[in-house]
Amino acid sequence: MTNNMFFIANWKMFGDLKSVNSIKKVIKLSKNKKFNKAQIIYCPPYTLISNFVKLVKNSKIKIGAQNCHQSQNPGPFTGSINTELIKSSGANYVIIGHSENRATGDTNHIINLKIKAALKKNLKIIFCIGETLIQKKRNKTNSILKSQLTVGLKNIKNNNNIIFAYEPVWSIGTGIIPKTTNLEKQVIIIKKMLMKIWKSKDPKIIYGGSVNSKNISELKKITLIKGFLIGGASQNAKNFIDIIKKTIN
């Protein structure tokens, strides 16, 4: 998966049965040779995963879940889904550590357990890290990212199945993206951290936070960024396709 550009759609708690069909245009695009390098991954709500899996069956689009429970075994966890259930639903990816889940209780330690549970089931992981606005204002960005990575990856051997999504929390859903030079610097720092913490030579780092068809031309200039984790703009096929087309041309 090294040379691919990732376009990961995080639908969050949006979408219903009818909206599943809206991705048909994206499936068509994924079959166009010109977009060979676009690795498209849809992460719909759990309830739509099997519909998505069926629909993308004859394409190279992959499906992911948006979170998982840390327990590797079945158990009395009402409302939760573990990696075993995700795998059996036909998904191949799972988002772990999203700030919206960190905000409701996912600690770095829990995230570490979730990553281990996902690796055990051969799921690929989209591991989200990012600082809040307060942390940024207090110049804590690097120490926050370092602890998210250090604890999150504890006792996990370097492997090729984790994509690192840098999502500054202050950028999610706000329409504000970091300045290109700042973002580039931050991604270099994250890469260095991963080389040190995880002995990773070429970590796959993607960016998420208010990515849209307007700012993509600026964001794509940062060659260290290997793709995008897209919330709002991924729910509309046209916007999502625009982002892919403008990145790969």
Q: Which of 84, 100, 131, 167 is catalytic?
A: 167
Q: Which is nearer to ligand 13P, 162 or 230 (CB)?
A: 230
Minimal distance, residue 44 CB to ligand 13P, in Å = 13
CB of 72 to ligand 13P, least distance (A): 25
Nearer to ligand 13P, 169 or 194 (CB): 169
Cβ 76 to ligand 13P, closest distance in Å?
A: 29
Choose between 61 and 211: whose C-beta lies nearer to ligand 13P: 211
Position of minimal CB gap to ligand 13P: 231
The answer to whether residue 84 is catalytic is no
Nearer to ligand 13P, 10 or 30 (CB): 10
Instruction: Give catalytic status of residue 167 as yes or no.
Output: yes
Catalytic residue, chosen from 98, 100, 109, 131, is 98
Residues of this chain that interact with ligand 13P (CB under 6 A) are: 10, 98, 167, 172-173, 208-211, 229-233
Burial of 45 from C-beta contacts in 10 A (0-12 / 13-18 / 19+): middle
Q: What's the min distance (Å) between Cβ of 230 and ligand 13P?
A: 5
Least distance (Å) from ligand 13P to the CB of residue 132? 13
Q: What are the Cα distances from residue 89, in Å, to 52, 53, 54, 168, 230?
A: 10, 8, 10, 30, 23
- b/e per residue 134-149 (b: at least 16 CB within 10 A): ebbeeeebeebbbebb
Q: What is the largest CA-CA distance in the chain?
A: 49
Closer residue to ligand 13P, CB minimum distance, 84 or 222? 222
What is the set of active-site residues?
Answer: 98, 167
